[in-house]
Amino acid sequence: MVTTAAERVFVDTNVLIHCSLRQSPWHPAAIQALHGCIQAGGELWLSRQVLREYIAVLTRPGTTTLTSPALTAAADVAGK
């Protein structure tokens, strides 16, 4: 991802999910894309809808191998 210093980038739910799930085959690419944007001075933007979708996917039974997906998702959204 190439961005200019003033560019705003809307982050899709899928990117957040792949950043969170280390077992995802797209995890490295998602992390690299967000880090690249930040390093280039871009702004990452989210919506409430993306956060709701993120929580819904991570807490769906059988989606992840996280020990406590609800707590993990809540902490991620809260920025902790």
Asked if the model's pLDDT at residue 77 lies above 90, the reply is no
Between helix 13-20 and helix 27-39 the angle, nearest 10°, is 110
Q: Are 41 and 1 spatial neighbours (Cβ–Cβ below 8 Å)?
A: no
% of the chain beyond a pLDDT of 90: 38
Which pLDDT score is estimated for 70?
58
CB neighbour list of residue 29: distance below 8 Å, 6 or more residues apart: 18
Asked if the model's pLDDT at residue 44 lies above 80, the reply is yes
Which pLDDT score is estimated for 73?
62
Sequence spans of domains, the chain: 8-78
